[in-house]
Structure 1
Amino acid sequence: MALTHAVIGFGRLAQALVPALRAAGEAVVVGRRSPGAGEFMAAAAAAQADWVWLTVPDDHIATTASVLRWRAGQLALHCSGATPLSALAAAPAAAGFHPLKLLAGEAGLAGVHVGIEADAAHRPALEDLARRLALQPLALPSPMDSRARAAYHAAANLAASGVLAVLAEAATLWDEAGLNGADALPALLPLTRGALDTAAARGLAGAVSGPIARGDAGVLQRHLAALADAGLDADLLLALGRRQIALAETAGRLDAAQAAGLRALLVPR
């Protein structure tokens, strides 16, 4: 059965979702506070739709859902990894459809995993839609309790913006080395991409490299000294180093004595 979709809000996610839905042959109406040509106010868009996507900011999802006039058979969806489906309690049925993709740059969704939180009645249709959008369906528990949701969203955030914190630390050390700061990201990003590409091919343990993976305590001591010279706290390197040791052990790169010696250097002082 052909469905009509209403997408309420037109931020970055909606700007990727609407063309993807249309390219998959879906009928889509857009609802927003200041409608453009061919668009509608939110209530008018929702009234035309079978599935209503609330792509507004997380803090506005529950409020937006509560003011729409729902009818039997409609499905409300949000695309937030952090917001519980209870925010859509005003709707007859609710589901989550959370693409694991940063949308600050390239807007396309194709190729990424999408977390789907839905009841048995709606999950098959959502998984089918995901595949037609060239997404990889990822089944989330339904209902997803608050502890699981927090862990899931923290994992996604750590894998995204968490990497930026590491690169910021690296850029500070680059400056400390007396190098041109403008060169830091262009020079360092290929290393990051290479590590990620290797992890995709070999798994996390198979991709670990550097002095910790080699058991090189002397180089690690010099890295810690460089942090002190740059006026940086050692907490990030210490935490990352301990986790790298665990990966290196999993990969069989370190024996017990090497791991113990490295851990001794990575104790907070």
Structure 2
Amino acid sequence: MGRRHAVIGYGRLARALVPALQATGDTVVIGRRGPGPGEFSPEAATQAADWAWLTVPDDHIAATAAALPWRAGQLALHCSGATPLAALAPAPAVAGFHPLKLLAGDAGLAGAHVGIEADAAHRPALEALAHALGLVPLSLPSPMSAQARAAYHAAANLAASGVLAVLAEAGALWSAAGLDGGQSLAALLPLARGALDTAAARGLAGAVSGPIARGDAGVLARHLEALAGAGLDGDLLRALGLRQLALAQAAGRLDLAQVTALRALLAASA
């Protein structure tokens, strides 16, 4: 007999999780405050489940967990990257299952890593479920402190929406050059994708390119002058430049004189 799941809340993540769980052959019921046809209240759904997934917003996890009628032997899970498992404390056993994937449109879960925080008794079953869902299990420390959770989630957010901030800055420079701003994203995205594809094949240090990777201080100086001329703050380019410099050093691409000159240029422009 398969496992019985309750999914509490029905947002974007739940809409990907429910069919994925059903595809494994397990039973899934949906619980929410205003249940539709075939759905249940959160309390009734939890009572019918072995595992209860709280896919509500982060700020509601603790209150939802406190309000549910738990019984011995049940496992409560959330799929948040930022919220410590202490939010699930009213449940008999707790675990975290955080897919590292942007769920835009009809995107499913398969192909992503999933951060799993669980005790030794539940970790094997969660790792097996990850494989069944086409996910790559990523073992998180257990217990994971609130600070560690925040750092982990900040890393994930930086790798996702942080890239958008870089593209927005690039778009501003594109417009400052007198180009059609409406074309910038389509023109620049292939560069971003190319960098990511190269990083996947060669690692971050092996993929770094541009004037900093070449030790070309003259071109970097003109970039910084262009920012100032466009009335744009150079803080992002400077911060990214210093981090690219560290990657270029790790790749052995630069000699000491080049590193010194580039670092001085980036610091002088602050």
Per the TM superposition, whether the score is higher than 0.5 is yes
Runs of 4+ residues over 4 Å off in structure 1: none
Distance 1:143 1:227 in 2: 45
SS of the equivalent of 1:98 reads: strand
- Name 2:20's counterpart in structure 1: 20
1:255 aligns with 2:251: no
Q: Secondary structure at the match of 2:28?
A: strand
Q: Which residue is equivalent to 2:239?
A: 239
Give structure 1 stretches of 5+ with no counterpart: none
Counterpart in 1 of 2:173? 173
Aligned position for 2:133? 133
Distance in structure 2 (CA, Å) of the matches to 1:229 and 1:106: 43
Task: Structure 2: state its 5+ residue gaps.
Answer: none
Paired residues, number? 269
Deviates more, 1:45-54 or 1:104-113: 104-113
Would the aligned equivalents of 1:15 and 1:107 in 2 still touch at CA under 8 Å? no
Equivalent position amino acid for 2:40 in 1: F
Return the alpha-carbon distance in structure 1 between the equivalents of residues 116 and 38 of structure 2: 30
Counterpart code for 2:60? H
Q: Which amino acid aligns with 2:65?
A: A
Q: Hey, what's the Cα distance between the residues in 1 that align with 2:72 and 2:89?
A: 13
Q: How far apart, in 2, do the equivalents of 1:142 and 1:6 lie? A: 24
- The offset of 1:2, in angstroms, is 2.0
Identity of aligned residues (%): 77
- Please name the residue that 1:195 is paired with: 195
Q: Are 1:211 and 2:211 counterparts?
A: yes
Cα displacement (A) at 1:196: 0.4
Instruction: Give a deviation string over 1:174-208, Cα, whole Å, max 9, x none.
Output: 11111111111111011001100100000000000
Matches within 5 A, 1:214-233: 214-233=214-233
How much does 1:136 deviate?
0.2
- Verify the 8 A CA contact 2:83 2:146 in the aligned structure 1: no
8 Å CA contact retained: 1:53, 1:78:
yes
SS at match of 1:266: helix
Question: CA separation in 2, counterparts of 1:261 and 1:181?
Answer: 33
Aligned to 1:163: 163
**Aligned-residue CA RMSD in angstroms?**
1.0
Kept in 2: contact 1:12–1:107 (CA 8 A) = no
The Cα shift of 1:137 comes to 0.2
SS of the aligned residue for 1:115 comes to strand
Q: Which letter does structure 1 place at the counterpart of 2:213? A: A
What TM-score, normalized by structure 2, do the two folds share? 0.98
Query: Structure 1 CA distance, aligned partners of 2:45 and 2:146?
Result: 31
Q: Could you say if the C-alpha distance between residues 112 and 38 of structure 1 is closer, same or farther in structure 2, counting changes exceeding 3 Å?
A: same
